[in-house]
Amino acid sequence: MFKTLRSRLLLFFLLITLVPLAIVSYLSYQTQKQDLTAQIDKTLFVYADGLAVAIKDMIQERVTDAKQFASNPLITSGKLTMDEIQAEMQRFLDVHEIYDGAIMLNSEGVVISDTDELVVGKDFSDRQWYIDALKEEVNFSDIYFSPAAHRIILSLGAAVSD
């Protein structure tokens, strides 16, 4: 097939042009792939850092909310009726729309006020979030399914001192 000089020269020139082109193309592809991968990794790290800051800020805001409510002079005075406590809790929920509900327990762990009126009178003294709230200033529970509320919740607790 390549017996003529013309066909041999054609093959030679094709090889001389195509082999370097293939090598350059492969090297260019690998370089671009590495650059894109590095750029995507960097972008993901920036997004992750931004998300971590946003989550930290959100948690700090919730801690501040809990401290604010726990130190509310109307609540800490001990002079409010249950209806007035519930109204104050509802005002708190109206201002802080991120919360679905609020409950207040007495020192024995029994619910004395609930904005949803689902768990009034129930004893939560064995719940970890209640125990931790008595020990710590403000705490978050793990996310769990609440048999009392019949939904998945995350509890934020703070002790109210009188």
Cα–Cα dist 142/129, whole Å: 9
pLDDT at 45: 97
pLDDT at 73: 87
Residue-level pLDDT, tens digit, the chain, 162 residues? 668 888 888 888 888 999 999 999 999 999 999 999 999 999 999 999 999 999 999 999 999 999 888 888 888 887 888 888 888 999 999 999 888 889 899 889 999 988 888 888 999 889 888 888 888 778 888 898 988 778 898 888 888 876
> Domain span at residue 68?
1-162
pLDDT at 33: 96
Per DSSP, 54 falls in state H
Pairing of strands 151-153, 156-158: unpaired
pTM as predicted? 0.69
pLDDT at 94: 92
Domain count, the chain: 1
Are 143 and 153 a contacting pair, CB within 8 Å?
Answer: yes
CATH of the domain at 69: 3.30.450.20
pLDDT at 141: 85
Q: How many CA atoms lie within 13 A of 72 on its CB side?
A: 18
